[in-house]
Amino acid sequence: MMRRILAWTLCGSLLSPLILLVVLSLARHWTWPRLLPAELQARQWQDLIADASTLGPIVLRSLGIGTGVAILATALGFFSSRSVARHPRQGPLLALLHLPFAVSPVVLGVSLLYLFLRLHLAGHLAGVMLAHLIFAYAYAVILLSGFWTPKMRALEEMAVSLGAQRWQLWLEVLMPLARPLLLVCLFQAFMISWFDYALTLLIGDGQISTLTVALYQYFSSGDIRLAATCALLLLAPPLLALLMNQRLLSATVVTALEAHGG
Amino acid sequence: MADSPAPLLRVENIHVRLGGELILREVSFDLAPHTTLSVIGASGCGKTTLLRAIAGLIDAERGRVLLGNENVESLAPNRRGMVYLNQEPLLFPHLNLFDNVAFGLRLRRFDDSAIRERVRELLSQLELEGLELRRPDELSGGQRQRVAFGRALAVDPALLLLDEPFSNLDADTRKSMQEVFKRLAHERGTAAVFVTHDLKEAMRVGDRFALIRAGRVYTYRDRDEFCADPASGVDREAAFWRDFSKTGSGEPG
């Protein structure tokens, strides 16, 4: 019984913000002290759809930036993580990679803006992607460095001894073995970019708007219900990917356990 | 082994240093074709280092490794024509048994029918028929080691380098694997360097013998010379069993 109560409490606490967003996106005249809105309507959704000509390109741009950053961060991170994991100074290198997460994104964003203005990258899509990539790449290297266990090294040597060339080693052995972890990394790197606000706002210099930035603009304009509707739109791709990745996440845990179990 | 007119493997004055420490010094020996050299030595004496240096997995400080007449010292491990077998079977976990054995053949772009034929022949010789679709985690320790052995033989290596490949197996499986190794190496004419710390295993699988002590490799003309050397431990082992049979106790060598 206790276990069931705990499970429901956990589910409730995780789902309640989502439920609140759904109710907000459909609410009309939800005034204090009412627990539930007096009336439901689809106006916010209709407004968003009506604004498709503005929001559509923003959604597509956000998807493009997120996908590009995820692919680049995962690919570069996979190759780099091998060197980092096998470097004699692996500890300090990993600590250095944690640095972007230890510094406030606003502080990092201001520093980057200073640099990117001189490189003519501020206000450009490439600049925003590069800024996202700094975080996503560091995350990818940290996540993927756990893949390079001594057993993985022994498997590499086995493949090489059997005649594998460098590209065959990556294609036939390392990438298939890392596949679950790579997919998780792609997903997480996408999320880093997709939900970023401060860096996009600063480096984008008002020229590059993403869905997260648009959400804050709706919120600032005081239209909480439209903001909630936009937030649901923002949550849709990650939730979809998460549902698709459920099996994958458990497979990753098994793979990691096997690798560490030798 | 200096009497062999045309050695398959020639190791000349190899020095290997790891982490600043000289592990192997002035190592030189020859190996004739179709021969298994048993290399025995205590744990940590440099047996694995010797094999890894021959395979090209670690760099020798100086010296040469010749396979046939070719100096392979400058060649990458994948181009040396040798397969190094670890203590662990190291099967690729994402591949089934068939694909593991076929791995090296696929790298060499053999056509599918040739791969099927060669893998099936090996699986039959290794008594692994019917298990083709099993994943490595669905096989026993002995079966995994057979697959690893088959995977190595599939590419017809000029030389097999075996690093205590049966040390993690139980006594019965180990003995059966030693027999499988002897039979297949003989049938296929494969030369091998087989390192072990187990004297009985060395005596069972080897045609020639070598001993590693303090980073140096001592080779013997034949089995008799090896057995006669007190350093080989054969005398101590024999004395143990002699005493044991008389008194029920003894001091193992």
Query: How big is the A-B interface in CB pairs under 8 Å?
Result: 59
Please state, in angstroms and rounded to a whole number, the distance separating the CA atoms of residues A27 and A53: 24
Please state, in angstroms and rounded to a whole number, the distance separating the CA atoms of residues A211 and A197: 9
pLDDT greater than 80 at residue A78:
yes
pLDDT greater than 60 at residue A218:
yes
Q: Which residues does A contribute to its contact with B (CB < 8 Å)?
A: 151, 154-155, 157-165, 168, 172-173, 176-177, 179, 258, 262
Enumerate the domain spans of chain A: 38-261
The residue range of the domain holding B164 is 32-57+78-221
A184 min Cα distance to partner chain B (Å): 18
| pLDDT at site B168 | 82
CB contact under 8 A, A160 and B77: yes
Please state, in angstroms and rounded to a whole number, the distance separating the CA atoms of residues A229 and A28: 13
SS3 content of chain A, % helix, strand, coil (to 5): 80, 0, 20
pLDDT greater than 80 at residue A111:
yes
Is the minimum CB–CB distance between B76 and chain A shorter than 8 Å?
A: yes
Please state, in angstroms and rounded to a whole number, the distance separating the CA atoms of residues A132 and A178: 23
**A247 band by pLDDT with thresholds 50, 70 and 90:** low
Nearest CA-CA partner of B28 in B40, B43, B46, B15: B15
Residue A163: list chain B partners with CB under 8 A: 78-79, 104, 107-108, 155
When CB atoms are compared, the residue of B88, B137, B151 closest to A162 is B151
B171 versus A75: the higher-pLDDT residue is A75
A187 min Cα distance to partner chain B (Å): 22
Domains in chain B, number: 1
Is the minimum CB–CB distance between B108 and chain A shorter than 8 Å?
A: yes
Residue A168: list chain B partners with CB under 8 A: 107
pLDDT greater than 50 at residue A262:
no
Residue of B nearest to A255 (CA): B93
Query: Considering the entire predicted model, what is its pTM?
Result: 0.82
Is the minimum CB–CB distance between B86 and chain A shorter than 8 Å?
A: yes
A169-197 pLDDT, tens digit each: 999 999 999 998 999 899 999 999 999 99
Q: Which CATH class is domain A38-261?
A: mainly alpha
In a domain, B90, yes or no: yes
A251 versus B174: the higher-pLDDT residue is B174
Please state, in angstroms and rounded to a whole number, the distance separating the CA atoms of residues B206 and A186: 51
Going from the first residue of chain B to its last (253 residues), give the mean pLDDT of each consecutive group of 10, the final group possibly shorter.
70 92 92 93 88 94 91 92 92 96 96 95 92 95 92 94 89 87 88 92 91 90 84 77 72 50
| pLDDT at site B251 | 56
Please state, in angstroms and rounded to a whole number, the distance separating the CA atoms of residues A230 and A25: 8
In a domain, B190, yes or no: yes
Please state, in angstroms and rounded to a whole number, the distance separating the CA atoms of residues A254 and B83: 30
CB contact under 8 A, A163 and B90: no
Residue A177: list chain B partners with CB under 8 A: 92-94
CB contact under 8 A, B107 and A172: yes
**A250 band by pLDDT with thresholds 50, 70 and 90:** low
Share of chain A above pLDDT 70, in %: 93
**A125 band by pLDDT with thresholds 50, 70 and 90:** very high
B84 min Cα distance to partner chain A (Å): 6
pLDDT greater than 80 at residue A242:
no
| pLDDT at site B157 | 93
A96-106 pLDDT, tens digit each: 999 888 888 88
| pLDDT at site A256 | 46
**A248 band by pLDDT with thresholds 50, 70 and 90:** low
Residue B78: list chain A partners with CB under 8 A: 160-165
CB contact under 8 A, B108 and A168: no
CB contact under 8 A, B90 and A158: yes
CB contact under 8 A, B84 and A177: no
| pLDDT at site A83 | 95
CB contact under 8 A, A160 and B76: yes
Interface confidence (ipTM) of the complex: 0.88
CATH of the domain at B189: 3.40.50.300
B82 min Cα distance to partner chain A (Å): 7
Residue A262: list chain B partners with CB under 8 A: 88
Please state, in angstroms and rounded to a whole number, the distance separating the CA atoms of residues B150 and B102: 9
Cβ count within 10 A of residue B189: 10
Angle at A172 between CA A167 and CA A173, to 5 degrees: 100
Give residues 169 to 228 of B whose Cβ lies within 8 Å of A.
none
Is the minimum CB–CB distance between B152 and chain A shorter than 8 Å?
A: yes
A146 min Cα distance to partner chain B (Å): 17
B127's tokens: 């008594």
Least confident piece of the model among A22-31, A128-137, A166-175, A240-249: A240-249
In a domain, B148, yes or no: yes
A221 versus B58: the higher-pLDDT residue is B58
pLDDT greater than 70 at residue A261:
no
